[in-house]
Amino acid sequence: MTAYTYDDIKAKVLEGQSLDSDNLNESDLKVYSKILNYLDKHAGSNFYYIYDTYYVDTTNSHVVKVVLKDYYDNFLSINEHLTSKGTAASGNESIITLTYDKELNSGYEPFLMARNWFSELKSEFENDFSDCHMNSFYIQLDYRCQIP
């Protein structure tokens, strides 16, 4: 298991984001290392950016939010959309949350399952309605088409 340091974590932080070094003591780093090692094993150590890390007192949980590099363009696009609507960027559906209290709870697998499911749905939809395009990151049709 890789023991992540503050500098290791900071090097993975998404451009434009920052970490609160006061919330990354030795005890926190051990927990974040567990979370990041899990993600390294399943997503690959160079395939994600860290969006945020923090500790939740009420649930005694450490939280790591990441954006997969494969979805970085979607992340930027959604941020632009959310900003134009005056909505908080933290509502961006490209952000994956992993938490650790007594055990690891990963949003990585459900995110990929949803993306794979939507890819299949989109393919079927576009085969049946070739003049339309479907987008799932903000649920609406990009182009209104007549569906018989």
143 has a pLDDT exceeding 50: no
1 within 8 A of 34, measured Cβ to Cβ: yes
pLDDT of 73 strictly over 80: yes
Tell me what the pLDDT averaged over the chain comes to: 83
118 CB neighbour count, 10 Å cutoff:
16
Which tokens go with 108?
């990585």
Identify the CA nearest to 135 among candidates 109, 112, 115, 110: 115
pLDDT of residue 83: 76
Q: What is the pLDDT of residues 101-126, one digit of tens each?
A: 989 999 999 888 887 887 788 888 88
Decide if pLDDT at 142 tops 50.
Answer: no
**Residue at token pair 């945020």:** 52
* Integer angstrom CA distances of residue 124 from 83, 129, 130, 145: 31, 9, 10, 15
Residue pointed to by tokens 């998404």: 14
Give, in order, the Cα–Cα distances in Å from 141 to each of 86, 125, 127.
20, 11, 15
Closest CA to 70 of 41, 51, 48, 52: 48
pLDDT in tens, 26-65: 889 999 999 999 999 999 999 999 999 999 999 989 999 9
pLDDT at 129 over 90: no
Confidence grade of residue 144 (pLDDT, cut at 50, 70, 90): very low
